[in-house]
Structure 1
């Protein structure tokens, strides 16, 4: 198996098998780090703990003590939870785009009627219920055609547009939170 070299923030490097995950790297350092790890940075880019690392890189393992990374991850996950809550309450609503921004996150939805203050209370209640389900979060890599077919079946035209707008033919990472987003 081919080896890659990973360089840590302190400048030290270690060799690992190509395809090692950030979680496995954390485990090799200390089981307590693996337990506390929430994400990683690979060459300065956000990296899920489950994603394989295929080439030499600089790596940093993040825990909840890393405020910026923890906040970004929490906001990203809350955006997905909010989208789930909205579609559970109103299955006909189409999800558009919902990125993390400097002061929080947002999601745009395609819905005939605007949300009311009562709707926002129902969304918050449903978000709490979803969080309390403690669903396992997974990532799978799909080719573009599979992802497009998935969102066509789910009647999510905006997700199809977003995928079609991504340049190149590289596979896509699909997040799974107890059901496909």
Structure 2
């Protein structure tokens, strides 16, 4: 009798885990539909080995269809956290899940122009502007009518080179399939 009770508990826990994983996926599918709606059939970027922990929509205050989508990636996504919007113009489409940020990626139709001098680098035909400040890196590029801005912290695991590789992976998977 005791073995049956323990087996039932194990089966129940397994079912709850499956339901939880399914729910996270359906939430991401809903967010994908929202992203497509706001940004002309844009797909959610993916990076091998990382997960999206939050997707935010920064609405164009002038209503000209120049919304920005902000993706936050992590290497260890945890439980769903409390939703605290960045500003009144920002709507959370997915998450936020707990986890350490690896990088934030902003995708927008608005061309990003920096007032400060930025370094330039070309990787496989994609021209990137970047700047490192202390332990942070900012990388931007424009490709096929969209601006990509990448913000991240530099550390032993995520070096400057690794961040360029991740940024290139995101852009190339979205534009050159």
Normalised to the residue count of structure 2, the TM-score between the two structures is 0.26
Normalised to the residue count of structure 1, the TM-score between the two structures is 0.25
Structure whose residues are more often strand by fraction: 2
Structure whose residues are more often helix by fraction: 1
